[in-house]
């Protein structure tokens, strides 16, 4: 157990540490007006025509401005992402990164394939939800709860979190896309 926040941060595995740090930095920078988010969002035409290849990565590094959903997504990375990187993919950091690349690759073409549906130009929330889904598939019988209030088996946690998103008035589209990407990775 880490004795300080610095010790906890140092104990994080490399991929989750880098991704979580990028998400926190982008939230702080956007909250303070230091960055223009239009330089980071996903846009296939800008990637192809203007060769702005950083968008392949940066659109996953913004989970939103500081809010309750932002905190929940960061907790997904810190809990489920770290568990997957340290346990399921123990000693196989490249495999964990490959999983993120595959699930991210599933998420990237969705806005282009379904232009009539309104999607966020940032896929970080969906990728974080994919971690939750994959953790729930790896530990289906683990006892867990939503916010310490509703207990359930881990297998049902993604659906419970979607219900919480709906109750709070949020869109479940990013959550569902995360489940879809995680499901494709898990079963293929």
Q: What is the CATH number of the domain that holds 24?
A: 1.20.1540.10
CB 27 within 8 A of CB 63: yes
User: Looking at residue 1, what is its pLDDT?
Assistant: 61
Residues 87, 141, 157, CA angle at the centre, nearest 5°?
85
CB 111 within 8 A of CB 121: yes
In three-state secondary structure terms, 67 is coil
Q: pLDDT per residue over 153-169, tens digit each?
A: 999 999 999 999 999 99
Token pair, residue 143, equals 């006892």
| Residue bearing the bigger pLDDT, 121 or 18 | 18
C-alpha distances (whole Å) from 138 to each of 8, 39, 56, 77, 161 are 24, 36, 28, 16, 17
| Percent of the chain at pLDDT exceeding 70 | 99
Q: Please state the rounded mean pLDDT for residues 103-120.
A: 87
Q: pLDDT per residue over 40-96, tens digit each?
A: 999 999 999 999 999 999 999 999 999 999 999 999 999 999 999 999 999 999 999
pLDDT band at 34 (very low <50, low <70, confident <90, very high): very high
pLDDT band at 119 (very low <50, low <70, confident <90, very high): confident
What is the torsional sign of CA 141, 68, 104, 108?
A: positive
Token pair, residue 79, equals 């809990």
Alpha helices (H) along the chain:
5-11, 14-31, 44-49, 55-58, 68-76, 82-83, 93-107, 110-113, 124-138, 157-167, 173-187
Q: Is the pLDDT of residue 118 over 80?
A: no
Range of the domain at 135: 5-187
The structural domain count of the chain equals 1
């Amino acid at each position: 157990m880490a004795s300080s926040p610095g010790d906890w941060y140092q104990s994080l595995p490399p991929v989750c540490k880098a991704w979580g740090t990028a998400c926190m930095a982008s939230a702080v920078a956007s909250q303070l007006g230091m960055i223009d988010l239009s330089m980071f969002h996903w846009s296939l035409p800008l990637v192809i025509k203007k060769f702005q290849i950083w968008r392949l990565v940066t659109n996953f590094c913004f989970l939103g401005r500081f809010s309750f959903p932002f905190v929940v997504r960061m907790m997904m990375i810190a809990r489920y992402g770290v568990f997957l990187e340290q346990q399921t993919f123990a000693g196989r950091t490249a495999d964990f990164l490959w999983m993120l690349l595959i699930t991210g690759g599933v998420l990237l073409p969705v806005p282009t394939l379904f232009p009539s549906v309104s999607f966020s130009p940032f896929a970080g929330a969906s990728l974080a939800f994919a971690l939750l889904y994959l953790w729930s598939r790896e530990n289906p019988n683990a006892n867990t709860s939503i916010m310490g209030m509703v207990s359930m088996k881990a297998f049902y946690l993604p659906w419970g979190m979607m219900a919480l998103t709906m109750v709070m008035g949020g869109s479940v589209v990013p959550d569902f896309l995360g489940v879809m990407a995680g499901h494709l990775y898990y079963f293929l």
